A and B are shown apart, each in its own frame.
Chain A
C-alpha cells in the first residue's frame, strides 16, 4: 500500500527531504517529526522535494505553516520544489507562493537557496 515516506539527503549546508506518497491527516505527523528532528539538530536550511508526492490535504499544508516561522527565526528557510500541477494548484489557490519559495526544478531551487544563504551570511 502506498503510504508516506521521507528520504533525506544532504547537499552542502542544505537538507533535502524527498517526500513520497500522500500527505494527509494520517501521515502528516511523520513530516512534523522530521521537521522537529531537523530543528533539534539545528539544521534550518530545508528543501522539500515534492516530485513523488501524489496528494496533499490541509493537514499536510498545516505542517509547513507550523514550522516556517521558527525555521526563519533561526536564519533558515523551508523551500519547496518539483510539485506536480495538481499539488501546486492547491498551494497557489491558497496564496502560499507569497510565503514560500516554490521552484520547478531542484537544481534551480538549490542555486537560489545558496545565494539566499550567502546573502544572509554577509
Chain B
C-alpha cells in the first residue's frame, strides 16, 4: 500500500504544533504503532526546529515543506527547505554520561533523531535547496 501526504509551513516555531499534529494524524492513519508514531513526531519536530533556528534564523518569510510517504514497511519523511547545506549525519551522538556530568545544554535534537530513525539522508541542490529525508522501517 502506498500513501503520501504533505504539509507546508512558514518557518516559525509557532507552527511546530501543527507539524506534530499532522505527522501524528497521518502516521496513525498509515497504521504505525503509537510508540513509533511518537518517535517520528519528535524526530520531525527536532529537524524542523533546527532548520527554523539555525538555517532560517527565525525568518518566517522562509518556508518548510514536509512530505510523508509510506510504502510497504518504509516510512520516509522528506523535509524540503532553502538554506545552507548541513548534513545531520556529521553530528555524533554524545556520550550522555559526560554530557550530563558537564551540565551541557542543547545539541540533543540531532542525537534524538538518530536514536529514533533508521536513516537520515541529505540531498543538496545548488544554490540553496535541501531535501532532508528521515527514514523509519516500521
| A positions within 8 Å CB-CB of B | 1-2, 22, 24-26, 55, 57-59, 61-62, 65-66, 68-69, 86, 90, 93-96, 98-99
| Interface footprint category on B | 20 to 34
Contacts of B104 in A (CB 8 A): 65
Q: Do B108 and A98 have beta carbons less than 8 Å apart?
A: no
Interchain CB contact (< 8 A) of A59 among B17, B20, B49: B49
CA distance A98 to B100 in the complex (A): 8
| B positions within 8 Å CB-CB of A | 13-14, 16-17, 20, 38, 42, 45-46, 49, 52-53, 96-97, 99-100, 103-106, 108-109, 112, 115
Known A25-B16, A65-B103, A66-B105; contact A58-B46, beta-carbon cutoff 8 A: yes
Binding site secondary structure of chain A: helix
Binding site secondary structure of chain B: helix
Contacts of B103 in A (CB 8 A): 65, 68-69, 99
CA distance A26 to B97 in the complex (A): 28
Interchain CB contact (< 8 A) of A26 among B14, B42, B105, B108: B14
Nearest residue, chain B, Cβ from A72: B103
Contacts of B109 in A (CB 8 A): 57-59
CA distance A86 to B38 in the complex (A): 8
Q: Give, as a whole number of angstroms, the nearest-CB distance from B20 to chain A.
A: 7
Interchain CB contact (< 8 A) of B49 among A1, A57, A95: A57
A-B contact pairs, 26 of them (CB 8 A): A1-B17, A2-B17, A22-B17, A22-B20, A24-B13, A24-B17, A24-B49, A25-B45, A25-B49, A25-B52, A26-B13, A26-B14, A26-B16, A26-B17, A57-B42, A58-B46, A61-B108, A62-B106, A62-B108, A65-B105, A66-B105, A86-B38, A90-B42, A95-B96, A98-B100, A99-B100
